[in-house]
Amino acid sequence: MFTERILSGMRPTGRLHLGHYHGVLRNWVRLQLEYECYFFVADWHALTTHYDEPEVIEQHVWDMVVDWLAAGVDPARATLFIQSQVPEHAELHLLLSMITPLGWLERVPTYKDQQEKLSEKDLSTYGFLGYPLLQGADILIYRATKVPVGEDQVPHIEFTREIARRFNHLYGKEPGFEEKAELAVRRLGSKKGKLYRELRTRYQEQGDDEALAAAKALLQEQQNLSLGDEERLYGYLEGGGKMILSEPSALLTSASRMPGLDGQKMSKSYNNTIGLREEGEGITRKIRTMPTDPARVRRTDPGDPDKCPVWQFHLVYSDEKTREWVTQGCTSAGIGCLECKQPVIEAVLAEQEPMRERARMFEEDPTLVRNIIADGCEKARELAQETLRDVKQAMGLNYV
Ligand code: TRP
Ligand code: SF4
């Protein structure tokens, strides 16, 4: 039984590169072994900034999903879906917008940053301002507990937590909450009820987070709780109201820094990428023409790996012994740069071999990909509808 639910999304920006692989996908592939995972294509989020390029979005969506599958994201382990195919996200976004203070959105640092960075676009739109709230709806609708994201997305997770808290505060209050919660504890049975009380006391009096986690796990195992009691028992653990939406936390993982061919961050806009399923010859050529330490004008000039982008690749791809050989050979002019690049070329090609293999299958039969996504969307919708039902009930919209 899983106690954590992981959710993450990626905007469809076209074919993915090694930066995405080492920064995000490798992580997803690992997480899917341990947790219940939901991964989705954030196509509405792409429209917030690329509303003027509707013609490319479809291709980008399918290319990205094939890249995920090629990288080893496994539809038998993780649920893969497309945001716009689960319209419940939009409904929750709308409902949450009722309680979202404008100032909270304007304060999210990415709002001004991105507007400045993409100054050629008009991003003073309603949709773009609401970007973090849409992301919040993505997360809250699955009651995800952990969201693997990069550093830059942490403010969005914080914002999501605040929205969840505000929602629970506004709608989790009910007359006679304490009595109802106590009744619910009794319904757990005497043994589990006693354990629940002990854990709750330990958390509330000593701030014992392990006790809180244990109590949550206990509740998660209960099969016969009514929805109302479940929300009460979760809310009673931490405070004075029902917990209808759960607060997620960011899962920051130590992603290896994958620089681009020129040593800057790998990014399509810098034109310094290696694609995830690029053909071998192209990759070889790109690495062979990578810049190196400018001090090595002639083969006999010694160099310094710290001033060379190739060294960054060795840090990602090479073992201790190879790195030793590089440092030694570079600083003494004992090896040439092409020689130095050879193990990197081989490692990148070897890494991509199984990816190309897997991708071929999906490229040859696109219906495979469509079916994976159709199944994922269906599964996601079921879960999304459950949350939405609770939200609508809490907001007084359960009259039909
Ligand atoms: N904003 C995220 C990014 O640009 C993409 C995203 C949208 C997302 N919704 C999400 C990530 C929900 C995690 C959870 O990378
Ligand atoms: Fe870079 Fe290797 Fe050349 Fe040194 S020998 S400058 S590390 S490519």
User: Going by C-beta distance under 8 Å and a sequence separation of 6 or more, which residues neighbour residue 336?
Assistant: 299
Token code pair at residue 31: 């997480």
Closest residue to atom 7 of ligand 2, CA basis: 305
% of residues, the chain, pLDDT over 70: 99
**Ligand 1 centroid from CA 280, angstroms:** 31
The CA distance from 207 to 202, in Å, is 7
* Residue 184 CA, ligand 1 centroid: distance in Å: 36
Residues 352 and 111: beta-carbon distance below 8 Å: no
H/E segment holding residue 8: strand 5-10
Please state the rounded mean pLDDT for residues 294-313: 96
Q: Distance, CA 272 to ligand 1 centroid (Å)?
A: 24
Helix (H, G, I), strand (E, B) or coil at 250: strand
Query: Whose Cα sits closest to atom 3 in ligand 2?
Result: 337
For ligand 1, say whether the CB of 153 is within 6 Å of any of its atoms: yes
Which is the closest atom of ligand 2 to the Cα of 295?
6
- Report residue 253's pLDDT band, with 50, 70 and 90 as the boundaries: confident
| Pocket lining for ligand 2, CB < 6 angstroms | 292-293, 296, 303, 305, 308, 310-311, 326, 330, 335, 337, 340-341
> Which ligand is closest in space to the CA of residue 301?
2
Q: Whose CA is nearest to atom 13 of ligand 1?
A: 8
Q: SS3 for 78?
A: strand
Closest-lying ligand to the alpha carbon of 318? 2
Residue 146, classed as helix, strand or coil, is: strand
Ligand nearest to the CA of 294: 2
Q: Is the pLDDT of residue 271 over 50?
A: yes
Higher-pLDDT residue of 1, 189: 189
pLDDT per position as a tens digit, 112-145: 999 999 889 999 999 999 999 999 999 999 999 9
Q: Which of 269, 2, 273, 31 is nearest to 149 (CA)?
A: 31
What distance in Å separates the CA atoms of residue 398 and residue 127, rounded to the nearest whole number? 27
When pLDDT is averaged across residues 292-309 and rounded to a whole number, the result is 96
Q: What whole-number percentage of the chain has pLDDT above 90?
A: 89
Task: Measure Cα distances from 198 to 83, 118, 263, 267, 362 in Å.
Answer: 41, 53, 55, 52, 53
Q: Does position 71 have pLDDT exceeding 80, yes or no?
A: yes
- What pLDDT score does 1 carry? 41
pLDDT band at 269 (very low <50, low <70, confident <90, very high): confident
Closest-lying ligand 1 atom to the alpha carbon of residue 42: 7
Summarize pLDDT for 275-286 with one digit per residue, the tens.
Answer: 999 999 999 999
Who contacts 289 (Cβ-Cβ below 8 Å, separation ≥6)?
none
**Ligand 2 atom closest to Cα of residue 329:** 5
Atom of ligand 2 nearest to the CA of 331: 4
356-381 average pLDDT score? 97
- Cα 298 to ligand 2 centroid, rounded to whole Å: 12
**Tokens coding 24:** 């995000």
Question: Token digits for 357?
Answer: 């293999």
What is residue 340's predicted lDDT score, i.e. its pLDDT? 98
Q: Is 292 in the pocket of ligand 1 (CB under 6 A)?
A: no
pTM: 0.90
- Does residue 256 carry a pLDDT above 80? no
For strands 146-148 and 78-82, give the pairing. unpaired
Q: Which ligand is nearest to the CA of 344?
A: 2
Query: From the CB of 147, is ligand 1 less than 6 Å away?
Result: yes
Measured in angstroms, how far is the CA atom of residue 275 from the centroid of ligand 1?
21
Please state, as a whole number, how many other Cβ atoms lie within 10 Å of the Cβ of residue 178. 10
202-231 burial code (b ≥16 CB/10 A, e <16):
bbeeeeeeebbebbbebbeeeeeeeeebbb
43 lines ligand 1 (CB under 6 A): no
- Distance, in Å, from the CA atom of 318 to the CA atom of 159, rounded to the nearest integer, reads 39
Count of helix runs (H) and strand runs (E) in the chain: 19, 5
